[in-house]
Amino acid sequence: MTEAQVTDIQTAEMEGSRKQRWRDFSARYAIWISVGVLIVAAQILSGGVFLDAQNIVNILAQNSVAGVLATGQTLVILTAGIDLSLGSIAALSSTTILLLQGQGPNIALPVGIAVALGAGLLNGLLVTKGRIPPFIATLGMMQAALGLTYVISNAYPVYEETHWFLFMGVDDIGPLPLHVVVWGLVTVITWVILRRTRYGMYIYATGGNERAARVSGIPTNRAKLFVYTFAGLCAGVAAILLVNRLGMTQPNIGNSLTLGAIAPVVVGGTSLFGGSGGVWNTLAGVLIVGILVNLMVLMGINVYIQQVVQGIMILAVVFLFIRQQRRA
């Protein structure tokens, strides 16, 4: 082999390595690149209004409830499960909180959290001990929580009589509303669980290949019980944020929250088959959905058209993901 041929081979290998590194980088950060591109497009299409500081804060505030719910949903989907009940659980929890507001926040808030936590735990037990498919188990819980919310509220909205501050009389931290900060804390805590604890390893292993994980000694049922319970806890936190932000709740509010808990996870690229994705992907997914909706509002697009666009976006993301999985 001549020196020129060796040089050509080395050059080809370097080029191939460079392309592979670029593909790896693109795959890892594609969702955040998409967020950046969408921000630039929104700024242009809105005539420079989008990046106004108050508008950015509004986007974060409007998506804080969905963000907390989607964070809990992420852990469930990473185990190849699904939780259709989070929106209804949040509605039940928020209604419970406001119905007990006469007892004071020291009673109302913990009871509301306990209701959501109990519902999440029951979901986990149905899936693990009852061996009911997650779709069916959480669909049943969704209907049960929805019906119970209508019963205890007499099918009427429930309003806050006196505004409750979330933490030590503080409603804002610097320029950010406190519920946005709480969303950030929930995201960080979830990331720590996934990346810095054994349960994070259990969750990814269970979603990647449950049978292999079980044979390897990983407590897959314990991991699934944990994620459904944690998702219920997130629904309870979301209920408090909902009450704090809107000053009211109503039984049918869970309908919109259910989609809000799933769509960002899907848009963020977390695999519906489990074992791939993470909480930062979900954060990016929440931002993409929030930015898109905000842009359509700024452009005066009809609210029903907005729903059509969101539906098409979700279908497109799922289609592209499945196509990529088949190629792999």
Kindly tell me the number of DSSP H helices and DSSP E strands found in the chain: 13, 4
Give the separation between CA 28 and CA 277, rounded to whole angstroms: 10
The predicted structure's pLDDT at residue 25: 47
DSSP state letters, 75-137: HHHHTT---TTHHHHHHHHHHHHHHTGGG-HHHHHHHHHHHHHHHHHHHHHHHHTS---HHHH
d(CA 199, CA 209) in angstroms, rounded, equals 15
Question: In the block, which residue shows the tokens 């931290």?
Answer: 173
Quote the Cα angle for 316-195-172, to 5°.
80
For 199-223, what is each residue's pLDDT tens digit?
999 999 999 999 999 999 999 999 9
Q: Give the confidence band of 282 by pLDDT, cuts at 50, 70, 90.
A: very high
Q: Which residue has the tokens 């209004």?
A: 49
Share of the chain above pLDDT 70, in %: 88
Question: Any bridge partners for residue 248, and if so which?
Answer: 159
pLDDT confidence band for 304 (50 / 70 / 90) = confident
In terms of pLDDT, which residue wins out, 162 or 291? 291
The pLDDT tens digits for 95-137 are 999 999 989 888 999 999 999 999 999 999 999 999 999 999 9
Nearest to 120 by CA among 270, 272, 241, 239: 239
Q: pLDDT digit string (tens) for 145-192?
A: 999 999 999 999 999 988 776 665 677 888 888 889 999 999 999 999
pLDDT per residue over 68-88, tens digit each? 999 999 999 999 999 999 999
pTM as predicted: 0.89
The pLDDT score that the predictor gives to residue 278 is 92
pLDDT in the model for residue 254: 87
Q: Indicate the average pLDDT of the chain.
A: 87
Whether 322 shows a pLDDT value over 80: the answer reads no
3 state SS of 247: coil
Residue-level pLDDT at 161: 86
Residue 50 and residue 298: Cα distance in Å, rounded? Answer: 8
**CA separation (Å) from 156 to 153, 169, 281?**
6, 29, 37
End-to-end CA distance of the chain: 35
